[in-house]
Structure 1
Amino acid sequence: MPSELVINATLPEIRVALLEDGEISDLSIEYEKNKSIVGNVYKGRIVRVLPGMQAAFVDIGLERAAFLYVGDIVYDADEDEEEEEVAAPAPAREQSRDASREQSSEQNGEGADAEEEGNESLDFETSDIIAEKNIGHLEEGGEKPAEGSEEGLDEEALDGEDDAGPSHRMAAQPDRSRQHSRHKRGGRSKPRSSRPRLNIQDVVKEGQDVVVQVAKEPMGTKGARLTCHISLPGRHVVLMPTVDHVGVSRKIASSEERRRLRGIVDELRPAGMGIIVRTVAAEQSNEQLTNEIKYLLNSWDSVKKKTETQKAPYCLNEDLNVVLKTVRDYFTDDIHRLVVDSPRVFSYVVEFAEQFAPHLVNRVVKYTGKDPIFDAYGIESEITRALNRKVWLKSGGYLIVDQTEALTVIDVNTGKFIGKKNLEETILKTNMEAVKEVAYQLRLRNVGGIIIIDLIDMEKSSHREKVYRALEDALKKDKSKTNILRISELGLIQMTRKRTRESLNHVLCEACPYCNGKGFTKNLRTVCYDIFRELERAALEGGTVGARVVAHPEVVDTLFQDERETLHKLEERFGMKVSIQGDQTLHIEDFKVEGEKLSLSSRKAPEAAKPVVKPAVVAEAEAATTLETAVNSVEANIATPSKGESTGPVIAAEPDSAEETGSASDQDVAEENEGKDDSEEAPKL
């Protein structure tokens, strides 16, 4: 089936889908109030340098500071060696490089074929600079070049996505043949190990202004990823002001056409700048390519002028919106037609195409159907399907896709598929269908980072190899770079996919406000037992004769139906009455328990006062005061007569009889003895 570009722009949400063979190959969604900032050039200011992470945070005017890694900062490690060569005219440089290639080819017996192949690769003088740019790019879904290799540094990597082609490769068995042939061609590249190792604190300082370009959107809690290697893409060429290099897309098969394009670029590019020629530039006129290169050079001059006059943070150059960016990068001769449903967008797409691709203007079509354009092409149902956790396969099997912060896990299940012959054939067919659907879902959902595929276990190694090859072939349609490992002993496929923008799930969805993104809530019985435990706490405090429970109506129903007996036992155990009330506004996990206390007059006995523990100093002082009070009291009793006693001389009355005399005598003796005892005891106190 022919490829088509379908643009839905009737609302502030703009959606662009690329259809290949009836399937969605790429889906982009952008809001007018929240445009993508990837490709924008800013004048930023370093706000913090982190030597421990070899990175810096840059203020470019966004909510969160952006992230700049040391490997993304422009510098020339071979400046001293290449100063003389860079100063030479462009033709002289080319002659010198061609001569070097020819000499190297003759020494290695490669001849003319090697020279032609050499034109397809980067010159080693410039590839070294770009290699440093790529160090440290291994993020979620990123791919780190092998040590000592120039993998990933060719024109395809630097060209637009339409020229990148299938960029996946098996990490366990990297392709060394091309790497070996590159090194055989010679060149003056320094070994990677001998290159000076930069420290971030030696390159930038806090408060320093830098010109940067956004390489990755802010995602989640992470700020935008920045690079100092600016690239200004056009329809046919890409201008790289910070890299001295000329490259031509490998997809241009004709060597004569490649030389023509290289000659045009060499004549126009200023010294020290680089230009990549894209696939769509083939067979284009010299005038058209010249006009585009001049336009990009003028854009860069404008950026430099704004850098001198504007104060950071400031946006120096804003990239195209999602519609024009799609037309620029995807609208090629391979696209049968471009369908737009908005008259306003249709008009400026035609205007843009007339300027950059006049021969394709007649392929721009305005949609006039009755149904919404995405419904008519079956795209809406695919988007809905991509937002589901479970994805059904045609055979009856299904996939379970779980996206987490760290990675994405895809589980393969046979589901309703029972097969026909035997178990091994059933498993093989399910896995074969599953890996093709996985590759499609990754593109549709724009899943990036680490991906784990849990296949159904296969006993035969030939079956495992067949499934692996099927996944490898399915990923050839993916324009994002992927990295695959072979099926492990546990039946897992580990892979990464380069993440350039937010996934479809993050763009269209947000965390569930009811469960706070957990994906689950406590069941009703668990909430009931939480209520019972809270009632126990209230009863154990003492003095509680009743309680009032307010909960979600579903929880209340469970309390009265399934847990009625438990509630009665709790009431009997603590001797209190519990009343229950439903409240629809409460979260299903939330509840209120209010205890009813006894009044003071109705209690049988007041609570015993708790003993007060006093500090030792206070206790000693109080004890000394008590002792002093006791001594003073005794002394006062001795010095002061008792009530009724006389202070004058005692005159004894004459006794009337002997009995009276004896009684008086005995009484006097007793009083005298008592006085002696008191006088003897007093000093002891």
Structure 2
Amino acid sequence: MKRNIYISETPMESRIAIMEDGRLVEFYIETPEDISSVGNIYYAEIENIQPGMQAAFLNLGTEQNGFLGFSEIEEIAQYHDGKWEVKPFTGAKDLKKGQRMLVQVLKDAYANKGPRLTTDIAIPGRFTVLTPFHDIIGISKKIKNPRRRTKLKEIAKAIKPEGCGIILRTVADGKTEKDIRQDIKQLLSSWEQLRNAVKNSNNQPLLVFKTEGMTSSVIRDMFTQEIESVIVDNKRKFRAIQNYVKDVDPELAQRVFFHKEGSLFGAYGITTETDKLLRRKVWLKSGGHIVIDHTEAMFVIDVNSGRYIGQKEQEKNILKVNLEAAVEIARQLRLRDISGLIVIDFIDMLIPENKKSLVRTFKEELAKDRASVSVSELSRYGLLEMTRERIRLSVMFSLSDECPMCHGYGRIPSKESMITKIDSWVRNYRQHTKERRVELNVHPMLYDFIRENKKVLRGTQFKYGIKIDLIKDDTLSVGSLRFVSKRDKQDVTHMY
């Protein structure tokens, strides 16, 4: 299987696409206002204890308090009179209002809910994870070979810092003791900086360890020997990735490439795929389709046969559509980062063995997912309930805003995603023409946003050496753009 990573940066967004054999399987997006806090470590203060909810709410020094369930408290790490004190958690009586402790973000804030926290502190590196309060040695379950597991365990025993624990990640397989030792050295340096930040916090809630950004995390966690190439369209980001890879895994440095001509996502067919992510309907090769809907409580996915099901061999044809849908649904869950409670309405089947085959296929496809999933059996009505771990917001919410006309029942493309479209189009336009001026017609809502954030369009004009005349056009939909050549007054939107 060919796996490639594509990284695109614009003034408004960073986007990362993971392709497998030319198909988009994972997509990440991050804006300056929507940076994930997962992995951040805070020296936080207890504001409120709710024994009935089996939880406490902690002041992180941010807008929203964090939620710490008692099930996520293994120990309480506090700093007193120049010394660290770590005590096991035995119940609500161990918690006091105003008490300070180290916590780490498990899940980002969502709607009016603050971030979910844990006291199980872990600092990730390229090859290892440092667990400062757990004196353990762990080996990734994905490393199956018994001989290699034994060798890695011996290395871990030889280099494990006293009083701390380490977990060897999948990418540690085949690495030398020197490589792993260097990784641990960097993690210990981060741990020391964290402790110093706590010492100097003046007992105020404080961010003491900031996780790496989205791009750095993806390169650290996913850029392995299985990846054929990493292609980047931003020179600064390209150099940063190359320098990092040369330090931690020099063999991979030659697989990092800079894309300089035209739109990166357009050149590799990624834009066509990402444009589909806001559509409810996803077509299947058989002619059937799935429909993805979101409610306040859950995601609902409906499988439809279209015109494929005939009277002859009906059960066989239904199974074929259901199996095809199972593969596509598993892909869409990863691609759209759909999480929480999910109910799937497959087409009804009569034969028990076919039902078992469907669930088995679906579980095999879900095994490719890095998020934790839990799947029920198929009900007598063809319904399958499942949950998928939520770490960050679904891509649907990153790419779109609530529709102001229907008060959130519908979605419209986000302003940030529209700015990315403009930047991508202009890049292609300047690549294929010498014209240095173009007229851009946009919906009034986008027009007002650009006028209020003038540096957005100014940055694109400066970067590509072009003058863009912005026109308000109330005949356009929110998600539409129209580019007109200033030279011959022709609509050139679909030419580039």
| CA apart distance, 1:70 | 1.3
Give the corresponding residue for 1:531.
Answer: none
What is the alpha-carbon distance in structure 1 between the residues aligned to residue 170 and residue 302 of structure 2? Answer: 39
Over 3 Å counting, the alpha-carbon distance change for 1:399 and 1:242 in structure 2 is same
Structure 1 residue 466 corresponds to structure 2 residue 466? no
The separation in 2 between residues aligned to 1:437 and 1:462, in whole angstroms, is 21
Q: Which has the larger radius of gyration?
A: 1
Q: 1 CA distance for matches of 2:344 and 2:46?
A: 41
Native 8 Å contact 1:387 1:505 kept in 2: yes
Is 1:363 the equivalent of 2:255?
yes
Q: CA deviation at 1:518?
A: 3.0
1:51 counterpart = 2:40: no
Match of 2:101 in 1: 210
Q: TM-score, normalised by structure 2?
A: 0.77
The superposition leaves residues 415-439 of structure 1 with CA deviations (integer Å, 9 ceiling, x where unpaired) of: 2324483332332222122111111
Match of 1:516 among 384, 395, 407: 407
Distance 1:254 1:455 in 2: 38
Counterpart-to-counterpart distance in 2, 1:427 and 1:369: 46
Structure showing the higher helix proportion among its residues: 1
Tell whether 2:369 aligns with 1:450.
no
The aligned amino acid for 1:479 is R
Instruction: Tell me if structure 2 keeps the 8 A contact 1:420–1:426.
Output: no
Per the alignment, in what secondary structure is the counterpart of residue 296 of structure 1? helix
Cα deviation, 1:369-416, whole Å, max 9, x if unaligned, reads 43x111222222222212111222222212111111211111111223
Alignment of 1:189-268 (within 5 A): 198-200=90-92, 202-268=93-159
Q: Alpha-carbon deviations, 1:106-131, whole Å to 9, x = none?
A: xxxxxxxxxxxxxxxxxxxxxxx9xx
Displacement of 1:281 after TM fit? Answer: 1.4
CA–CA separation in structure 1 for the residues paired with 2:75 and 2:31? 36
Shifted more, 474-483 versus 416-425: the winner is 416-425
Shift of 1:471: 1.2
2:273 match: secondary structure: helix
Show CA shifts across 1:415-466 (max 9, x none).
2324483332332222122111111111111111111111111122222222
1:310-344 per-position Cα deviation (integer Å, ceiling 9, x unaligned): 13221111111111111100000010111101111
Q: Distance in 1 between matches of 2:59 and 2:118?
A: 13
> How many residues are matched?
401
Q: In the alignment, which residue of structure 2 is the partner of 1:297? A: 188
Mapping of residues 558-573 of structure 1, within 5 Å: none
| Partner SS, residue 183 of structure 2 | helix
After superposition, residues 163-202 of structure 1 pair within 5 angstroms as 198-200=90-92, 202=93
Conservation of the 8 A alpha-carbon contact between 2:309 and 2:318: no
Q: TM-score, normalised by structure 1?
A: 0.56
Q: CA deviation at 1:262?
A: 2.4
- Within the candidate set 236, 259, 264, 1:344 is matched to 236
Query: Within 1, Cα distance between the matches of 2:234 and 2:220?
Result: 19
Deviation at 1:282, TM superposition (A): 2.2
Q: What SS does the aligned partner of 1:37 have?
A: coil
User: Which of these residues, 283, 299, 302, is aligned with residue 411 of structure 1?
Assistant: 302
Q: Following TM superposition, by how much is the alpha carbon of 1:232 offset from its aligned partner in structure 2, in angstroms?
A: 0.5
Partner Cα distance (2:395, 2:288) in 1: 24
Which residue of structure 2 lines up, in the alignment, with residue 314 of structure 1? 206
* CA separation of 1:294 and 1:342: change in aligned 2, threshold 3 A: same
User: 1:33, 1:407 → 2: CA distance?
Assistant: 26
Residue in structure 1 matched with residue 272 of structure 2 by the alignment:
381
Please tell me whether the aligned partners of residues 216 and 501 of structure 1 are also in contact (alpha carbons under 8 angstroms). Answer: yes
Matched residue type, 1:66? G
Task: Name the stretch that deviates more: 250-259 or 40-49.
Answer: 250-259
Which of the two has greater strand per residue? 2
CA distance in 1, matches of 2:257, 2:184: 29
Once residues 60 and 318 of structure 1 are traced to their aligned partners in structure 2, the CA distance between those partners, rounded to angstroms, is 13
1:264 is paired with a residue whose SS is: helix
Per-residue deviation, 1:71:
2.0
Alignment of 1:110-121 (within 5 A): none
SS in 2 for 1:272: coil
| Alpha-carbon distance, 1:32 to partner | 2.7
Deviation at 1:364, TM superposition (A): 0.3
Query: The residue matched to 2:43 in structure 1 has which SS?
Result: strand
Contact kept? 1:70, 1:198, Cα under 8 Å: no
Map of 2:450 onto structure 1: none
3-state DSSP of counterpart to 2:53: coil
2:417 match: none
Q: Work out the CA distance in 2 between the residues paired with 1:469 and 1:422.
A: 22
In structure 2, what is the equivalent of residue 183 of structure 1? none
CA–CA separation in structure 1 for the residues paired with 2:210 and 2:224 = 23
For the 8 Å contact 1:74–1:242, the answer to whether it is kept is no
The question of whether the paired residues in 2 share the 8 Å contact of 1:407 and 1:450 is answered with yes
Aligned to 2:60: 60
Mapped partners of 1:301, 1:74: distance in 2: 22
Within a 5 Å distance, the mapping from 1:423-438 to structure 2 comes to: 423-438=314-329
1:220 is paired with a residue whose SS is: coil
Aligned 8 A contact 1:400 1:410 in 2: yes
Measure, in 1, the Cα distance between the counterparts of 2:235 and 2:191.
33
Contact kept, 8 Å, 1:51 with 1:199, in 2: the verdict is: no
Indicate how the Cα distance of structure 1 residues 241 and 3 shifts in structure 2: closer, same or farther if over 3 A, else same.
Answer: same
Query: Hey, what does 2:167 align to over in structure 1?
Result: 276
Letter in 1 for 2:352: S
Aligned-residue offset at 1:10: 3.3
1:425/1:267 CA distance change after superposition, 3 Å: closer
**Contact 1:324–1:352 (CA<8 Å) still a contact in 2?**
no
Q: Which residue type is aligned with residue 73 of structure 1?
A: I
Q: CA deviation at 1:519?
A: 4.4
Alignment partner of 1:510: what SS? strand
Shift of 1:261: 2.7
Query: Cα deviations across residues 234-286 of structure 1 (Å, max 9, x unaligned)?
Result: 00010011211101223334444433332332233333311001121122222
Could you tell me how far apart the structure 1 residues matched to 2:310 and 2:284 are? 14
1:600-639 superposed matches below 5 A: none
Q: Deviations over 1:455-507 (max 9, x none)?
A: 11112222222222221222122111111111111111111111111101111
Identity of aligned residues (%): 38
2:198 & 2:159 partners in 1: Cα distance? Answer: 24
Change (3 A) 1:309 1:364: same
Secondary structure at 1:223 match in 2: coil
Tell me if 1:11 matches 2:11. yes
Q: Distance in 2 between matches of 1:482 and 1:426?
A: 28
Which secondary structure does the structure 1 equivalent of 2:350 belong to?
A: coil
1:26 alignment partner, SS class: strand
Distance across 2 between alignment mates of 1:444 and 1:231: 27
Structure 1, unpaired ranges of 5+: 77-128, 133-196, 521-583, 585-685
Question: Superposition RMSD on alpha carbons, in Å?
Answer: 2.1
User: More deviation in 373-382 or 61-70?
Assistant: 373-382
- 1:514 is aligned with what amino acid? M
